[in-house]
Amino acid sequence: MSFKDVVGQESAIAFLKAAFSCGRIAHAYIFVGPQGVGKSKAALNFAKLLFCESPSANEPCENCASCLKSNGSNHPDIQEVSPEGQFIKIDAIREACRKLSLRGFESSFKVLIITQAGALNEESSNALLKTLEEPTANTVIILMADTLKSVLPTIASRCQRVVFSILKQDVIESILIKQWGASRDAAAYLSMMSEGSLGAALRFHEDGLFSRKNDLIKNALDERCGLDGLLDLSSKERQDRQENIQEALFVLSSWFRDLLLAKTESRSFINIDKKDDIMRLARSFSFIEIEERLTRIADAAQDLKRNANARIALTRLRVDLWKQ
Ligand SMILES: [Zn+2]
User: Does residue 22 surpass a pLDDT of 50?
Assistant: yes
Question: What pLDDT shows up at residue 112?
Answer: 97
| Fold designation for 207-322 | Zinc Finger, Delta Prime; domain 3 (1.20.272)
Q: For residue 112, report the distance from its CA to the centre of ligand 1, in Å.
A: 19
According to CATH, where is 3.40.50.300 located in the chain? 3-163
Question: What pLDDT shows up at residue 248?
Answer: 85
CA triple 6-20-44, angle to 5 deg: 40
Question: Which class in CATH covers the domain with range 3-163?
Answer: alpha beta
Average pLDDT over residues 177-184: 94
Question: What pLDDT shows up at residue 78?
Answer: 95
User: Does residue 225 surpass a pLDDT of 70?
Assistant: no
Query: In this predicted model, what pLDDT tens digit does every residue of 303-319 receive, in sequence order?
Result: 887 777 777 888 888 77
Q: Cα(150)–Cα(147) distance, rounded to whole angstroms? A: 6
| CA 157 to centroid of chain Cα atoms | 24
Q: For residue 50, report the distance from its CA to the centre of ligand 1, in Å.
A: 9
Secondary structure of residue 225 in the 3-state scheme = coil
Q: For residue 61, report the distance from its CA to the centre of ligand 1, in Å.
A: 4
Q: For residue 62, report the distance from its CA to the centre of ligand 1, in Å.
A: 5
Residues less than 5 Å from ion ligand 1, measured at CB: 52, 60-61, 64, 67
Q: What percent of the chain has pLDDT over 70?
A: 93
Alpha helices (runs of H) in the chain, residue ranges in sequence order: 10-21, 39-51, 65-71, 90-101, 122-133, 153-156, 169-180, 184-193, 198-206, 209-221, 227-232, 241-262, 275-282, 287-305, 310-322
Question: What pLDDT shows up at residue 229?
Answer: 57
Mean pLDDT of the chain: 88
Average pLDDT over residues 168-193: 93
According to CATH, where is 1.20.272 located in the chain? 207-322
Question: What pLDDT shows up at residue 72?
Answer: 87
| Local confidence band at 227 (pLDDT 50, 70, 90 cut-offs) | low
Query: In this predicted model, what pLDDT tens digit does every residue of 144-158 receive, in sequence order?
Result: 999 998 999 999 999
- Residues whose CB falls within 8 Å of the CB of residue 91, separated by 6 or more in sequence, listed in order: none
- Would residue 138 be called left, alpha or beta, if left means φ above 0 and alpha means ψ between -120 and 50 degrees? left
